[in-house]
Structure 1
Amino acid sequence: MPMLTTLLSKLLGLSERPNRALSIIKDFPIPMLDGTELLADRYLPHGDPDASGPVVLMRTPYGRGGVLGRIHANLMAGQGLQVVVQSTRGSFGSQGEFRPFQTEREDGVATAEWIRQQPWCDGRLAMAGGSYVGHTQWAVGPYLEPPLEAMCLAVTTSNFVPNFYPGGTFAADDMVSWSAIIGLQEEPFAALPKPWQLRRTQAAMRGLPLGRADQAAIGKEVKFLQDVVAHAGQDDGYWKGRADHSEALPTLTVPTTMVSGWYDPFLKAQLEDFKALGAAGHPSRITIGSWRHGEPASLKVILSDQIGFLKATFDGDPAPLQRAPVRIALQHSGQWLDFDQWPPPSNPVEFFTTGRGKLAAKAAESSAESFDYSPDDPTPNIGGPLLMGESKQRDNAARESRPDVLVYSGEPLEQHLDVIGELQATIFLRSTHPKLDVFVRLCDVDPQGVSWNVCDGVLRLTDPAEAAEVREVTVQLDPTGYRFQAGHRLRLQISAGAWPRYDRNLGTAEALATASSGIPNRIEILSGTDHPTTITLPIWKP
């Protein structure tokens, strides 16, 4: 392990430090308020268990080994940081029931207070990590007194609920995939690739009813999937204080640093966190690369960002923290750009659909195009921000060749077009049945005619409407930083689904857990001056 730590330090450009006999105290219990004991490992940078200093806490449901322990914690300790890695309730030796998002606030605060009482902690405590390990930070940071010294938040958010139910749909692919992983992660050989299990999980997310997807995927119940399915379509406040800590965000005074990726499913919510902190007078900083969730290429930036932030915080040296609040990779430009705010200043430009499948700078005469959506043959997803599977940019030919996808294309660009910021589409439609999903996707069509997805958004319509009633719908797309190169074309897709990324819209009022059949729908998209269906792009110029 010392050799691996040395190699990683060199790769990340971290300063060389002499060997200080780094050691680990494993499997020590930390008591919770109800008497449950959660196991933790303590990484000692100096090898002295009695040495007192600041502590970095990471709370994880994925086990204390793997990337988090063997790489993240070891590398931090190799840089002189004392680290405690704890298994959350009911996972990897910790007592209690493993039920994600349910007790992280209580357990996290109890853990933080216990660590501060130990003689080897000088009272200074920070937290670090990504994804669910980032959630466990949000479950502590706003509620702990005195506050944490720092929070290092990678590919995560204070509010996971929009990722459970994007636009009011159900994120079937992400929810079933993650449920299968956590349901099997402590079984023998769980870390080894299992193609047959992947196929079984994919079949489960495509099947009905979704309330039995855990049984279909792994042959047993997963409490998290049951929780998230049971509360789909309900504004009952169930997740507040569990998976949603956004209401406490304005009170957070802890210095924070963030990292995300353009194809990370938590990017949109993480940018909302970033903006909310700034609005509350507690600015953060964020780095966004061209990554998907968990992409190995992002690891170097995440580790460098978090280690540098923690060292500067504990050393009391603000110099390494002096950088632009926003640093982004402008896709397909080879450039990193710095900004003082998100979104950066831009010029909003509307592009209009026409009845001839065109995307134009001006509205044309009134027109309408129709398509039929069938829940028995739902419109498939290709690419985009997913936790697992084929994400990022993909050739969209298979989607665009279907009769249930409308395609509108612009003329070849005469010069580069840089789109940086937040996007939205305004769609005018009418439908045979009122319950439907509206999925909008922006694509980049290269000179060879290949259509590559850039960003997209979905909205589930549940309000009653008459068959002849025209409805105006606003769909928020995921944010992006993207260069459409000269000679490429903009393309807008409009459809009624992206399955199984989102559950198929069955068009009925039956609960998600038990629904097993649906009704087809005919959908008409209107264009023209009276009903201008548009996409608004934030055009950036240096």
Structure 2
Amino acid sequence: MPQIVHVGPAPVSPAAREERVRMRDGVRLATDVYLPGAPAEPDTTPGDTILIRLPYDKSGEYTFIPLIAEYFTDRGYRVVAQDVRGKFRSEGDALLFVNEVEDGYDTIDWIVQQPWSNGRVAMWGDSYYGYTQWAAVASQHPALKAIAPRVTGTMLGEPVRTVPGERTRPVEWAITYLYPLTYFHSQDAYFWELDPARRPFSAQAEDVVAELGSRSLSYDQWYPHAVHLPRFPLASPFDARPVPTLQTIGWWDNCAPLSWADVAEIETRPAWALNHFLRIESMDHESYYLDDPLTARVEERGDEQIRAELPRMLQPAVDFFEVFVRGRGRAADIPRVSWNLAGTSGMRASETWPPSQAATRTLYAHASGELSPDAPDAAAEREWLHDPEQLVPSSVPNAFAFLLFQPDEAELGARADVLSFTTDAFARDVDLAGPVRVAASVSSDGPVMDVFARLLDVAPDGTALRVARGQVNVTGAGDSATVVIDLGQVGYRVHAGHRLRLHVHSSDFPEFLPQPGTGEEPWGAVATTTNRQRVVLGGDEPLRVTLTVLPDTRAEEARP
């Protein structure tokens, strides 16, 4: 039986006044109101409001909303923080995603009727409380003037869907089934970990449900037969009236693929594209940064440390709201794309992503273990084993906080079940800025295979930092399949003397559900078997990495 840690609501912040806001169906949501000058001398005159709707406890330490509210109110904003339906102090069922459109509309409607509101509302937040912003956009409330979603996506948390006729699809995250049994089981949160040695994983979930004495609506919605309830019952947010949006993505955010999918959709909508501003930072999902000093890389961050980090997290949104909510300044003064080249300091500006001057370069894998610009002369194969009892471990114990750990992944390349290919040392700095793709022809002696690809920066001392990754699930794997693995977008400087390395393998546990080798679905599988996997080097579909690279401008920069 997994050990279960129970987390209930924290006390309401003394700086807030808690309200019970009634939704259209009579359910009341617990809502904190923070006013400038509160609690000593609250300013009740009408002003602009920032709304934060989240499922992680509006008063809890994890999201430090009272400190965030303090930052915003110090700049004259009113702040409303709300536990979403069914969570912590709010009434109703804890059901992922599906109530956020109507509840977002009703909450904004309540705000604009308050004496301290001037009728203008903005929204801010990460992850699920980034998703609630997109839901509010879909509600089309006219008072919503701007949003600033970070590390999120409109399809956040959705189970992988099978598309008839397609042999490839994404690999399922373990969090897909754990999240509705931890954060969204009921009002409070209950944390527990999978035992990798005990199958089926679904039996562990049933033990937790039995121990808690009630079922999770969200879990039962998704397993064993996924029911995809409409999360946007009116229409997609991108079919709604465009709202000025500052979208923040982290290079090391494990949810970044969902963010980039939204960016791709926005680029097909001219009206939305005009209202969309992109910010890309060298951070992960939990707002740890690549350049954080060791003293800042701690799991439990105190109030003073958080306050010191808030400007980096919040000031871009404040600057954005000053223009689009308060009408101060010009939209033209905000970069269309603001991004950090990891390995360098400061932010860069561009009109597009990738930058217009970027170009693609391809590196080919060789049987010798080399990764080079030259394609192999002849076709060959490399094999590796996928043993469900000896899984390739995930890089970090918490996939959402990769940069808290910044692991050295070099030793993974020594495993027999990981293929490794490495370039020569770079003679000069090379700046990666854009998509990374891995393509290959793969097959297996099992019915289903997963292919994981990680791109690493190998320093002269041999340590290796992961800079990109992607994965794909292949059905009918007994027949060769040509796969293209999206490793996401990258903004990263590979310094002179460093090398790039590609790792290829078939598991990444516990972050991703591992294939049992039998073709049975991974969450409910009981039996396991080892599979022999193959990839082609050379020929018409060789294993290759396509990078997006900025030109070397040092010569031009040196000219008088």
Q: TM-score, normalised by structure 1?
A: 0.84
**Equivalent position of 2:304 in the other structure:** none
Letter paired with 2:340: A
CA contact (8 A) 1:250 1:277 kept: no
1:176 aligns with 2:178: yes
- Offset at 1:353? 0.9
Tell me which amino acid in the other structure corresponds to 2:349.
D
* Structure 1 Cα separation of the partners of residues 203 and 217 of structure 2: 12
Deviation string 1:391-448 (CA, Å, 9 cap, x unpaired) is: 6642113321111111111111111111111111111122112311011111111112
Answer yes or no: is the 8 Å Cα contact 2:442–2:534 preserved in 1.
yes
After TM superposition, the structure 1 = structure 2 runs for residues 269-418 of structure 1, keeping only pairs within 5 Å, are 269-281=258-270, 282=272, 283=274, 284-295=276-287, 299-319=310-330, 322-345=333-356, 346-364=358-376, 365-383=378-396, 386-388=399-401, 393-418=406-431
Deviates more, 1:476-485 or 1:394-403: 394-403
* Contact kept in structure 2, 1:429 and 1:524, CA below 8 Å: yes
Residue 150 of structure 2 is aligned to residue 154 of structure 1: yes
Alpha-carbon separation, structure 1, partners of 2:187 and 2:284? 22
Q: 166-175 or 325-334, which moves further after superposition?
A: 166-175
Find the residue that maps to 2:392 and give its secondary structure: coil
Match of 1:144 among 140, 145, 152: 140
> Alignment partner of 1:474: what SS?
strand
- Alignment match, 1:516: 526
Aligned twin of 1:62: 56
Mapped partners of 2:78, 2:345: distance in 1: 37
Q: Deviations over 1:340-378 (max 9, x none)?
A: 111223111111111111111111122111111111222
- Helix, strand or coil: the match of 1:530? coil
1:96 equivalent to 2:92? Answer yes
Structure 1 equivalent of residue 473 of structure 2 = 460
Q: Is contact 1:27-1:39 (8 Å) kept?
A: yes
Contact 2:160 2:169 in 1 (8 A): no
The RMSD of aligned alpha carbons is: 3.0
> 1:332: how far off?
1.5
Answer yes or no: is the 8 Å Cα contact 1:383–1:453 preserved in 2: no
**Shift in alpha-carbon separation, 1:371–1:56, aligned structure 2, 3 A:** same
Taking the aligned partners of 1:152 and 1:362, their CA distance within structure 2 comes to 44
Instruction: Tell me how far apart the structure 2 counterparts of residues 136 and 312 of structure 1 sit (CA, whole Å).
Output: 22
Deviations 1:35-71 (A, max 9, x none): 1111211112255575323322111112222444311
Which runs of 5 or more residues in structure 2 are unaligned?
1-12, 162-167, 290-308, 554-560
CA apart distance, 1:473: 1.0
The SS at the match of 1:107 is helix
Shift of 1:534: 0.7
Whether 1:249 aligns to 2:238 is yes
Aligned to 2:106: 110
Residue 278 of structure 1: how far off its partner (Å):
4.0
Task: Please state how far the C-alpha of 1:383 moved relative to its aligned partner.
Answer: 4.4
2 CA distance for matches of 1:176 and 1:370?
A: 33
- Does residue 536 in structure 1 map to residue 538 in structure 2? no
SS in 2 for 1:309: helix
Give 3-state SS (helix, strand or coil) of 2:325's partner.
Answer: helix
From 263, 271, 276, the counterpart of 2:252? 263
Are the equivalent residues in 1 in contact too, given 2:201–2:523 (CA < 8 A)? yes
Which residue is 1:439 aligned to?
452
Q: Are residues 31 and 140 of structure 1, via their aligned partners in 2, closer, same or farther at CA, if it must alter by over 3 Å?
A: same
Number of aligned residue pairs: 502
**Any conservation in 2 of the 1:263–1:386 contact (CA below 8 Å)?**
no
Distance 1:388 1:177 in 2: 16
Q: Sort the Cα spacing of 1:502 and 1:305 in 2 relative to 1 into closer, same or farther, 3 A.
A: same
Identity %, equivalent residues: 26
Query: Partner of 1:126 in structure 2?
Result: 122
Mapped contact 2:514–2:522 kept (Cα < 8 A): no
Relative distance call for 1:177 and 1:204 in structure 2 (3 A) is: farther
> Does the aligned pair in 2 maintain the 1:154–1:258 contact within 8 Å?
yes
Residues 488-503 of structure 1 correspond to what in structure 2 (within 5 A)?
488-503=498-513
Give the Å deviation of 1:524. 1.4
Cα shift at 1:114: 2.5
Contact 1:382/1:390, CA 8 A, preserved across alignment: no
Q: Which amino acid aligns with 2:546?
A: T
Please report how far the alpha carbon of residue 277 of structure 1 lies from its aligned counterpart in structure 2 after TM superposition: 2.7
Letter in 1 for 2:141: E
- 1:223-234 to 2 correspondence within 5 Å? 223-230=217-224
**1:31·1:37 contact (CA, 8 Å) conserved in 2?**
yes
The residue type equivalent to 1:107 in the other structure is D
Residue 385 (structure 1) shift: 8.8
Distance 1:137 1:206 in 2: 39
Q: Could you say if the C-alpha distance between residues 113 and 126 of structure 1 is closer, same or farther in structure 2, counting changes exceeding 3 Å?
A: same
Match in the other structure for 2:72: 76
Q: Is the 8 A contact 1:158 1:246 kept in 2?
A: no
Would the alpha carbon gap of residues 59 and 335 (structure 1) be closer, same or farther in structure 2, given more than 3 Å must change? closer
Which letter does structure 2 place at the counterpart of 1:491? Answer: R
Decide whether the 8 Å contact of 1:38 with 1:86 is kept in 2. Answer: yes
In the alignment, what sits opposite 1:52?
46
- Cα distance in 1 for partners of 2:322, 2:142 equals 20
Distance 1:446 1:69, change over 3 A: closer
Q: What does 1:420-431 correspond to in 2, within 5 Å?
A: 420-431=433-444
1:304 Cα deviation after fit: 0.6
Gaps of 5+ in 1: 1-21, 191-196
1:12 aligns with none
| Aligned twin of 1:11 | none
Cα distance in 2 for partners of 1:380, 1:493 equals 13
Cα distance, 1:106–1:269 mapped onto 2, change above 3 Å: same
Asked if the contact 1:457–1:475 (Cα under 8 Å) also holds between the matched residues in 2, the reply is yes
> Aligned pair in 2 of structure 1 residues 412, 324: CA closer, same or farther (>3 Å)?
same
Q: Distance in 1 between matches of 2:497 and 2:100?
A: 51
> Shift of residue 328 of structure 1?
1.5
Q: Aligned partners of 1:56, 1:136: CA distance in 2, in Å?
A: 13
**Deviation, structure 1 residue 175:** 5.2
The worse-fitting range, judged by mean Cα deviation, of 391-400 and 94-103 is 391-400
Match of 1:37 among 25, 28, 34: 28
Residues 103 and 252 of structure 1, relative CA distance in 2, 3 Å threshold = same
Which deviates further from its counterpart, 291-300 or 513-522? 291-300
Distance change >3 Å, CA 167–CA 508, structure 1 → 2:
same
